[in-house]
A and B are shown apart, each in its own frame.
Chain A
Amino acid sequence: MPVQVLGDVLSVKRVGAYLSMTVIAPGIAELTRPGHFLAVQVGGPESSMLLRRAFAIYDVKDRGVYGGTVEFVFAVHGKGTAWLSSRRPQDKLDVVGPLGKPFRLPTTGVNATLVGGGYGSAPLLPLATALRERSCRVDMVLGAGSADRLFGLLEAKRMAASIAVTTDDGSVGTTGRVSDVLPGVLDKCRTDVVYACGPMPMLRAVAAVCAERGIPCQVAVEESMACGIGVCMTCVLPVIGDDGRTRMARSCVEGPVFLADRVRWDDVGSVPHDTVGALGRP
């Protein structure tokens, strides 16, 4: 059950090309599982920006000096995130969370490979902790455009049995994309399950690699949202349901985590003709 909290900003840190913000938000930390996200109001109470910005939750602390805190990572893309980057400790921030369906965890110790693109690694780091608590082997593949856009590399190194890094410009690790090195990692690590978070083209490529090998894969998708709570119907994508039929699923409440083989990757952005309720169907 999500809550709306007007919390104090505790810290804003620069991490490479990104910013990491921690907010005192009692009630959110206790309920958060890896894969949940936050919806953050930007611009203050008189803002001309009406819509919340959604960010995957990176870290939570449900006790300590400040009570419950929640941390998320973001990049400055537009006016809303620019405003967010100018917040300072003790500024107020209106946050709603935890939102969405988190990653599903295996019940037994399996070999899990976690694939993160850019700051998509943020929710994978607490996931790695949760998987290790369940006696899973965790291997990680992190990729980004350049070295400064890799998030959580040191932390990942501490937790993962192995780590592979790719950058588009070759500034660190293998030059190329995560999907270039993923097949080798899956074979070498005898991977049973894959978890991925990052930009849609990356998720699509990871899903294709996993489908080829028949490895179950969960992805946390990035769709633009207006509300984050399931009422606006803007963050939809075509997803195949348990009944085999495709529906336009809301990534905020039915996701953001989906089984990769249920997402109609070729049709994201459109409404496939066989979608339930598609126009032109008899």
Chain B
Amino acid sequence: MTDLTTILAGVRFPNPVFTASGCAAAGQELDQFFDVTALGGVVTKSIMLEPRSGRATPRMAETPSGMLNSIGLQGPGIDVLLDKDLPWLAERGARAVVSIAGGSVADYANLASRLRDRPGLAMVEVNISCPNVEDRGQVFACDPQAASGVVSAVRRNTAPGIPVFAKLSPDVTDIALIARACVDAGADGLSVINTLLGMVIDTTTMRPALAGITGGLSGPAIRPVAVRCVWQVHQALPDVPILGMGGIRTGLDALQFLLAGASAVSVGTTVFGDPTAPVRVLAELEQALADRGVEHVRDVIGLAHGAAGHLVPEGPDPVGDEPAAAMEEP
């Protein structure tokens, strides 16, 4: 079998399949369906300093192969995470990746210092790209200087040895530019991508379907955008580890992200429709790697950037989940 161990900025994870922020709460709910310690890591829902009620309802609209959400970072605040959720994850033996969100650089710095030296913390993911904030100007990931300010504050306040990953928005002209700004500010890695800003109008009420008007688009509908973003960031910064996410539904989807340059992946929206999806994706990925004769998962990270024929696929379905007949000539 393939060695699935993956290393993100010096931290070793037993496999490259994680949950995604905002799609797994803090792990307890999913642990009813599968053992969360079987995953590479559990990425918790973005936590803020104070409790947050989130936005009005409707907060969700289903879209073709996707969904829009405008939750607005509802959560209990960092105290509850530190008192209940993180100790639970630590006791279970899960590797916790805590996602943090704030309204100012000081918020982020404060959150990072609150997390310092907490048992169970494997990594910090800095959510600088949530589209569901009242003021779009707060989307730090849309501006290299703002992103850089947040990331450097978090890095300064986080224990050495705990990687800091910045989560990027695809809603920018040049994602590599923001990626570089984050890395220059001290990010050890990048999470790629957050949701895309979208909108649905209800044709019966003739008004926006979401109370928040706009929402974040996620699910398989955004997968090609996500793979493209991972590819561009890896091309620009080949030595920076990437946690890739965006519409992963199967093991072959996960493999696309690894081939584009991600060292690990998060399974997000798919969990809503299939609570056991993360472990299923892991099993399918393991099988897909074995079918292709891959000995170490690290051998496929960024492989798609190389010359064709570098690794001869032996699998029955080398092009992914689309039938070859449906592929169009470039």
Indicate, yes or no, whether A interacts with B. yes
Q: Interface on A for B, CB 8 Å cutoff?
A: 1-4, 41, 48-52, 94, 96, 223-224, 226-227, 229-237, 247-248, 253, 268-271, 275-279
Mostly, the A contact residues are: loop
A279–B53 Cα distance when bound, in Å, is 8
- Chain-A contact segment, one of B64-72, B123-131, B189-197: B64-72
A253–B276 Cα distance when bound, in Å, is 18
B270 at the interface (CB under 8 A from A): yes
In whole Å, how far is A34's beta carbon from the nearest beta carbon of chain B? 21
Task: Indicate if the CB atoms of A52 and B272 lie closer than 8 Å.
Answer: yes
Task: Indicate if the CB atoms of A4 and B275 lie closer than 8 Å.
Answer: yes
Residue numbers in A under 8 Å from B173 (CB-CB):
none
Query: Closest residue to B33 on the A side, CB-wise?
Result: A4
Task: Indicate if the CB atoms of B269 and A50 lie closer than 8 Å.
Answer: yes
Residue numbers in B under 8 Å from A276 (CB-CB):
51, 53
Task: Indicate if the CB atoms of A229 and B29 lie closer than 8 Å.
Answer: yes
* A271 in complex: contacting residue of B56, B64, B271, B273, CB < 8 Å: B56
Query: Closest residue to B52 on the A side, CB-wise?
Result: A277
13 additional contacts (CB under 8 A) given A50-B67, A270-B211, A278-B53: A4-B276, A41-B273, A48-B64, A50-B65, A50-B273, A223-B57, A233-B59, A234-B58, A235-B57, A236-B54, A247-B53, A248-B74, A277-B75
Ranked nearest first, the 8 interchain pairs of A and B with the lowest CB-CB distance are: A277-B51, A234-B60, A227-B272, A277-B53, A277-B52, A230-B29, A48-B65, A275-B53
In whole Å, how far is B290's beta carbon from the nearest beta carbon of chain A? 22
Q: Known interface pairs A4-B33, A234-B69. Does A271 touch B54 (Cβ–Cβ under 8 Å)?
A: yes
Q: Please count the residue pairs between chain A and chain B whose beta carbons lie under 8 angstroms apart in the complex.
A: 114
Q: List 25 A-B contacts (CB under 8 A).
A: A1-B32, A2-B33, A4-B276, A41-B273, A50-B270, A52-B272, A52-B273, A94-B274, A96-B275, A224-B60, A226-B62, A226-B69, A231-B24, A231-B29, A231-B271, A231-B272, A233-B59, A234-B69, A235-B57, A236-B54, A269-B211, A270-B56, A271-B55, A279-B52, A279-B134
Within residues 113 to 136 of chain B, which ones have a CB less than 8 A from any CB in chain A?
134
Task: Indicate if the CB atoms of A230 and B53 lie closer than 8 Å.
Answer: no
Task: Indicate if the CB atoms of B30 and A271 lie closer than 8 Å.
Answer: no
Task: Indicate if the CB atoms of A226 and B272 lie closer than 8 Å.
Answer: yes
Residue numbers in B under 8 Å from A279 (CB-CB):
52-53, 134
A4–B51 Cα distance when bound, in Å, is 32
A279–B212 Cα distance when bound, in Å, is 14
A201–B219 Cα distance when bound, in Å, is 32
Residue numbers in B under 8 Å from A278 (CB-CB):
53
Number of interface residues of B (CB under 8 A): 42
Residue numbers in A under 8 Å from B75 (CB-CB):
277
A208–B193 Cα distance when bound, in Å, is 46
Task: Indicate if the CB atoms of B53 and A271 lie closer than 8 Å.
Answer: yes
Q: Known interface pairs A48-B65, A277-B77. Does A2 touch B57 (Cβ–Cβ under 8 Å)?
A: no
Within residues 66 to 109 of chain B, which ones have a CB less than 8 A from any CB in chain A?
66-67, 69, 71, 74-75, 77
A125–B297 Cα distance when bound, in Å, is 54
A277–B71 Cα distance when bound, in Å, is 13
B246 at the interface (CB under 8 A from A): no
Task: Indicate if the CB atoms of B74 and A277 lie closer than 8 Å.
Answer: yes
In whole Å, how far is B202's beta carbon from the nearest beta carbon of chain A? 12
Residue numbers in B under 8 Å from A49 (CB-CB):
62
Residue numbers in B under 8 Å from A52 (CB-CB):
272-273
In whole Å, how far is A275's beta carbon from the nearest beta carbon of chain B? 4
- B284-314 vs A, Cβ < 8 Å mask (1 yes, 0 no): 0000000000000000000000000000000
Within residues 238 to 268 of chain B, which ones have a CB less than 8 A from any CB in chain A?
none
Task: Indicate if the CB atoms of B56 and A50 lie closer than 8 Å.
Answer: no
Task: Indicate if the CB atoms of A227 and B275 lie closer than 8 Å.
Answer: yes
Query: Closest residue to B27 on the A side, CB-wise?
Result: A231
In whole Å, how far is A257's beta carbon from the nearest beta carbon of chain B? 18
Residue numbers in B under 8 Å from A3 (CB-CB):
33
Task: Indicate if the CB atoms of A277 and B50 lie closer than 8 Å.
Answer: yes
B220 at the interface (CB under 8 A from A): yes
* From B50, B66, B67, B77, residue with most partner A Cβ within 10 Å: B67
Residue numbers in A under 8 Å from B58 (CB-CB):
224, 234, 269
A4–B66 Cα distance when bound, in Å, is 21
In whole Å, how far is B69's beta carbon from the nearest beta carbon of chain A? 7
